[in-house]
Structure 1
């Protein structure tokens, strides 16, 4: 049986670390060349792709800048001639960078909506929603121009469906990613371009770095995670692979939730 993405070209934003890096590596293992977009250097990700025997290109990209999103896709086409798959993984937990569950565990209410700075709220939505929209738009335009279909995967969160006190910007932004996914999927359904989302639960990435050393925060996270462990980035990458590949050829506009059983109740 051949590899799931043999000979395809994938663009992954947020690919310098965490879920984005794991996805880039897995896609390469499945036969794809990978273009990595991130504001941070992605030397390690590029090395992992090349170790898997595929070609990689890093393009510094701020996904909140539409020209940079367009330039990312253009660079992919210039280098590899086409784009078949896109994963919009760039995102933040909060404007300050600290994870929401750690803020809550510390007993802080500064991030509760009644105390929230409007600029902080807007910053999260700008990155998590507008950045995904601009990424998706650039990818979709290229896929439509090619006329051969394609698959776009957005990284949402289980927080798209679960309200978390003190995490309004994150929850609202990830719910926005899910609805953006559904609308774009509907608009593109007849074109062969599929659009889906992955909604991870608590996953061991830099976004929640240090949580395992914070018993209160970890306990709060596990209280809504029946499997009672953090997800691994490679597990989320496997969900992205399913949605990116032909194995999900009749699936669009959906949210896949690798979240350790959070929605079993």
Structure 2
């Protein structure tokens, strides 16, 4: 219960890694603001699961690709919970296309959600912390592709590379406010976004050959790393990326 008395805002929390993070932070004692683009059945299921742990929780909707919506998300989170101590920028999208075929619409979607949304929600959070005056924690769910090339996903790689450098810059800019900021870079994780991959034995076999631990990770393993970065043991960590990838980054070869 290392986060007792803290309030965490988790974006993209309706399923997958976001849901696992919301649940783990609740189990650690935090109150949780569950954010997703729309308050759909999956988001409400996350809310019910978090509340079942005994944690205080609320649901806030908003499209993180829109700056006005991002600011409303923070305002509503503070209005409902009184404050926000922890921001987890988890919401993200990807679009597959060869570089020569990428459309402006797909590029804008990926960069707006994955980078612009992180930028401006972090800004709104930092302003809240500045006005409150007692520090906070930011964890961005990045990807191994902040470092690792991923052919046919150029916009996704650009967004995650941007999140990496944004985190490093803000670790300097936000330190005087008592705010730490770090990234977690998952590799291949068992989430709905990888459902097609997991249903194809040949693709799974090829992927596992590139992962030294020979398996996909779980959302709960990513959530555990988030809980660590939000807790007292990580109080002196800022500007770092934790890789949760089974060794994939250091053993990857295109097939």
TM-score by length of 2: 0.93
Residues 35, 76 of structure 1: 8 Å contact kept: yes
* Secondary structure in structure 1 of the residue aligned to 2:55: coil
Distance (Å, rounded) in 2 between the aligned partners of 1:262 and 1:230: 10
For residue 9 of structure 2, what is the aligned residue in structure 1? 11
Distance (Å, rounded) in 2 between the aligned partners of 1:216 and 1:118: 32
For residue 187 of structure 1, what is the aligned residue in structure 2? 173
For residue 104 of structure 1, what is the aligned residue in structure 2? none
> Counterparts in 2 of 1:159-178, with a 5 A limit?
159-178=145-164
Task: Supply the RMSD in Å over aligned alpha carbons.
Answer: 1.3
> Counterparts in 2 of 1:127-138, with a 5 A limit?
127-138=113-124
> Counterparts in 2 of 1:106-255, with a 5 A limit?
111-255=97-241
Residues 12, 35 of structure 1: 8 Å contact kept: yes
Deviation at residue 264 of structure 1 after TM alignment: 4.1
Residues 36, 61 of structure 2: 8 Å contact kept: yes
Residues 64, 134 of structure 1: 8 Å contact kept: no
Q: Which runs of 5+ in 2 are unaligned?
A: none
TM-score by length of 1: 0.90
Residues 92, 207 of structure 1: 8 Å contact kept: no
Residues 148, 249 of structure 2: 8 Å contact kept: no
Q: Which runs of 5+ in 1 are unaligned?
A: 95-99, 101-110
What count of residue pairs does the alignment treat as equivalent?
Answer: 248
